[in-house]
């Protein structure tokens, strides 16, 4: 188990990581997600030992490793730039950590290459510089696995790959995590990767962990407006009035006419009502519980669904509904038409500021 | 179609002008050196291109002359230690500058490279005065020390170019994979900068080999090839001088071509 307590990093007067606490169980696929500059890479570098924290501790399996050199830490970091040794072959790159640890090499290079789905007969004796981006990525992964770490740290290593390859490698990483039972800590600004691969998510904003949970929990119950927006594809309405009613709140907004009661789980008073794009629909009549009048400004086809972009003239808001393409055809709504953006009351999510 | 032809013609004309220009520059740079080489093979006391006769005689005279031999030996006694020491100092400084982060790093670079931009004749004069002040005297050792001040920064510059091209995460990756400092240098950093170090060493040797200003102030009674040539030019010219000068030139050009090949090979690897 990895445990960080009050971990803090300052650069001069700038606080990059602000007294962060986190716990990651052995074998978990944990993702630290946040926008650029939120301190996630600094946090990862402190876990890897490449940066000393200003204060706080890192414990690995009960042992304090806060000031342990990276050489002596059972962690291995896969860099964003991969950092393969360009003067070595693929085999030499992968043998490097094994020789440093003094373990028998044997058939390990072949095994590891197969594990990352590269054919050893073709690739083992190539120069590292001769590989494509995706292949370099796989070799960097194999090299880190060759170190046999307890925890594999990944610093957005898929960011520079194309979409299809990135998707495939994401799935392979998740499989590998399960297969090896090794703890993976992945750092990314891309929510898509975070949702797809992780058991546990840490959302980082300005050096603070603002929410921890399973991807499902965070997607369904974002704890702030920032997370709701960061998790993406959501319409956000500010509330004018919120009154506690049993398990939830009765809320009113000038942006839609109806009053509704929504369950709520946080201490701070709710400030916003959030509806996911794919929970919203569009129609010429108001048929759902909640809705507002809008003008359709754009219709974008996204495979099986369409994104209907709307303007609400009264509140100055821009909203989107994502609906199946057939359903949209049945509505007879077209670009430029007045219509209702609407949703089932149970799909509403309340969040504090 | 017609614009196509026009462009192609323009291109050809453009590249014709370009190659002509390059050829002229090359001619301008090479003429003095080529004249020197031609003169060194001329059989006669005062050079004339009209009735040219070829001989190896002056080279033979150069290689058998005692004073030239001792000048050559002195030059090597200076150049070889300078090459070794300046390569070590320059490489260490380049690694510090390019691969480590420390306060006043940019100022360190400016300060370290300063001697390159200082006029050599003044550098030599200053060193000469200082050398007598601290009782270092004049001879081989003061010359070595003097040349190191000027050549080490140049090696640093040459090695830095190679070292800056290496992935900034490479040391961290190596440490992360269990490499101690010795392994990091032996297996990763030094192999990656080796081409730059060899180029730097070649530069160091050539610059020391050709150096006149610093040794002229510091070598004292010991004459080197360059001070020998200068002495002969000012008092008692003999046709051996072009032959000796050409010999210096042959060694330099060979090494410079070697360095260029190394650079080229490194660029090809990318």
Q: Nearest to residue A280, comparing CAs of A332, A341, A225?
A: A341
pLDDT at B38 (0 to 100): 84
Q: Are B68 and B227 in contact (CB under 8 A)?
A: no
pLDDT at A123 (0 to 100): 92
**Is the Cβ pair B178, A144 closer than 8 Å?**
no
How many angstroms from the chain centroid is the CA of residue A13?
28
Q: Decide if A299 touches B, using CB distance below 8 A.
A: no
Please give the mean pLDDT across all residues of chain A: 89
pLDDT at A56 (0 to 100): 93
Probe site for chain A from B173, B189, B269 (most A CB atoms < 10 A) = B173
Q: What is the ipTM of this complex?
A: 0.79
Q: Is the pLDDT of residue B170 over 90?
A: yes
Report CA-CA distances (Å) from A214 to A194, A225, B4, B150.
10, 18, 63, 63
Euclidean distance between CA atoms A182 and A148, whole angstroms: 9
Give the rounded percent of residues in chain A with a pLDDT score beyond 70. 100
Average pLDDT in the A92-113 region? 93
Of B95-109, B128-142, B221-235, give the range with the top mean pLDDT.
B95-109
Summarised one tens digit per residue, pLDDT across range B228-244 is 888 888 877 778 888 88
Euclidean distance between CA atoms A18 and A54, whole angstroms: 10
Min Cα–Cα distance to chain B from A194, Å: 24
Domains of chain B: 61-269 (1.10.3720.10)
pLDDT bracket for residue B259 (50, 70, 90): confident
pLDDT at B3 (0 to 100): 56
Q: Decide if A126 touches B, using CB distance below 8 A.
A: no
Q: Is the pLDDT of residue B270 over 60?
A: no
**Is the Cβ pair B176, A100 closer than 8 Å?**
no
Euclidean distance between CA atoms A341 and A309, whole angstroms: 10
CB contacts of B180 in chain A (<8 Å) are: 71, 100
Q: What's the half-sphere exposure (Cβ side, CA atoms, 13 Å) at B196?
A: 25
How many angstroms from the chain centroid is the CA of residue A48?
20
pLDDT at B54 (0 to 100): 78
Strand order in the sheet with A63-64: A14-24, A2-11, A55-60, A63-64
Euclidean distance between CA atoms B196 and B116, whole angstroms: 18
- Give the number of A-B residue pairs with CB atoms closer than 8 Å: 62
Tokens of A248: 């939830």
Euclidean distance between CA atoms B76 and B126, whole angstroms: 24
Summarised one tens digit per residue, pLDDT across range B56-84 is 878 888 888 888 888 899 999 999 999 99
Tokens of B170: 């490479």
Backbone Cα Rg of chain A: 24
Average pLDDT in the A173-201 region? 88
Kindly compute the dihedral angle of the four CA atoms of residues B117, B121, B125, B128, in this order, to the nearest 10 degrees: 90
Min Cα–Cα distance to chain B from A231, Å: 31
Q: Are B206 and B252 in contact (CB under 8 A)?
A: yes
pLDDT bracket for residue B163 (50, 70, 90): very high
**Which chain A residue shows the shortest CA-CA distance from B192?**
A87
pLDDT at A209 (0 to 100): 92
Of B178, B192, B270, the CB nearest to A100: B178
* Cβ neighbour number for residue A178 with a 10 Å cutoff: 13
Euclidean distance between CA atoms B124 and B212, whole angstroms: 10
The residues, ordered by sequence, that sit 6+ positions from B14 with a Cβ below 8 Å of its Cβ are none
Higher pLDDT, B35 or A214: A214
pLDDT at B56 (0 to 100): 80
Report CA-CA distances (Å) from A147 to A27, A70, A93, A133.
17, 12, 11, 22
Average pLDDT in the B188-210 region? 92
């Amino acid at each position: 188990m990895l445990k960080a307590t009050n971990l803090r990093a300052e650069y001069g007067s700038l606080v990059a990581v602000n007294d962060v606490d986190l716990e990651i169980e052995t074998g978990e696929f944990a993702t630290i997600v946040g926008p650029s500059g939120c301190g996630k890479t600094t946090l990862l570098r402190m876990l890897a030992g490449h940066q000393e924290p200003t204060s706080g501790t890192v414990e690995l399996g009960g042992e304090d490793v806060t000031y342990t050199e990276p050489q002596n830490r059972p962690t291995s970091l896969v860099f964003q730039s991969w950092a393969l040794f360009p003067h070595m072959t693929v085999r030499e790159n992968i043998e490097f950590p094994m020789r440093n640890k003094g373990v028998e090499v044997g058939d390990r290079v072949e095994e590891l290459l197969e594990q990352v789905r590269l054919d050893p007969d073709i690739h083992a004796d190539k120069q590292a510089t001769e590989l494509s981006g995706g292949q370099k990525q796989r070799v960097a992964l194999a090299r880190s696995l060759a170190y046999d770490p307890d925890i594999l740290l990944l610093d957005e290593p898929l960011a520079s790959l194309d979409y299809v390859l990135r998707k495939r490698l994401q799935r392979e990483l998740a499989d590998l995590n399960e297969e090896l039972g090794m703890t993976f800590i992945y750092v990314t600004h891309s929510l898509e990767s975070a949702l797809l691969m992780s058991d546990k998510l840490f959302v980082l904003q300005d050096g603070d962990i603002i929410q921890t949970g399973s991807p499902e929990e965070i997607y369904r119950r974002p704890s702030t407006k920032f997370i709701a927006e960061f998790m993406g594809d959501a319409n956000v309405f500010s509330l004018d009035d919120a009154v506690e009613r049993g398990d939830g709140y009765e809320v009113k907004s000038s942006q839609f006419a109806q009053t509704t009661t929504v369950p709520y789980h946080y201490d701070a008073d709710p400030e916003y009502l959030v509806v996911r794009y794919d929970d919203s629909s569009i129609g010429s009549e108001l048929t759902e519980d909640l809705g507002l009048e809008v003008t359709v400004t754009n219709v974008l086809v996204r495979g099986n669904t369409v994104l209907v972009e709307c303007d609400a003239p009264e509140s100055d808001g821009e909203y989107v509904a994502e609906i199946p393409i057939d359903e949209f055809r049945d509505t007879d709504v077209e670009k430029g038409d007045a219509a209702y953006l609407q949703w089932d009351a149970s799909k509403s999510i309340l969040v504090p500021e | 179609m017609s614009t196509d032809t026009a462009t192609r013609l323009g291109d050809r004309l453009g590249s014709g002008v370009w190659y002509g220009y390059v050829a002229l520059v090359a001619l301008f740079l090479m003429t003095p050196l080529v004249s020197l080489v031609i003169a060194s093979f001329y059989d006669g006391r005062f050079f004339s291109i009209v009735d040219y006769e070829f001989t190896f005689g002056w080279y033979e005279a150069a290689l058998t002359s005692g004073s030239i031999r001792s000048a050559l030996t002195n030059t090597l006694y200076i150049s070889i230690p300078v090459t070794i020491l300046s390569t070590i100092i320059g490489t260490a400084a380049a690694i510090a500058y390019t691969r480590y982060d420390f306060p006043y790093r940019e100022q360190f670079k400016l300060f370290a490279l300063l001697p390159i931009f200082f006029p050599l004749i003044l550098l030599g004069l200053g060193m000469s005065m200082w050398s007598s002040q601290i009782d270092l005297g004049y001879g081989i050792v003061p010359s070595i020390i003097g040349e190191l001040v000027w050549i080490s920064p140049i090696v640093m510059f040459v090695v830095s170019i190679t070292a800056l091209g290496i992935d900034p995460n490479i040391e961290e990756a190596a440490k992360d994979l269990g490499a101690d400092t010795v392994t990091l240098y032996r297996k990763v950093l030094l192999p990656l900068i080796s081409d730059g170090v060899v180029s730097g060493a070649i530069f160091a040797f050539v610059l020391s080999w050709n150096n006149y200003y610093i040794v002229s102030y510091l070598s004292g009674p010991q004459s080197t090839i360059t001070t020998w040539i200068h002495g002969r030019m000012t008092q008692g010219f003999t046709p051996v001088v072009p032959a000796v000068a050409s010999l210096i030139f042959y060694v330099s050009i060979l090494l410079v071509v070697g360095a260029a090949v190394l650079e080229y090979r490194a660029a090809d690897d990318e």
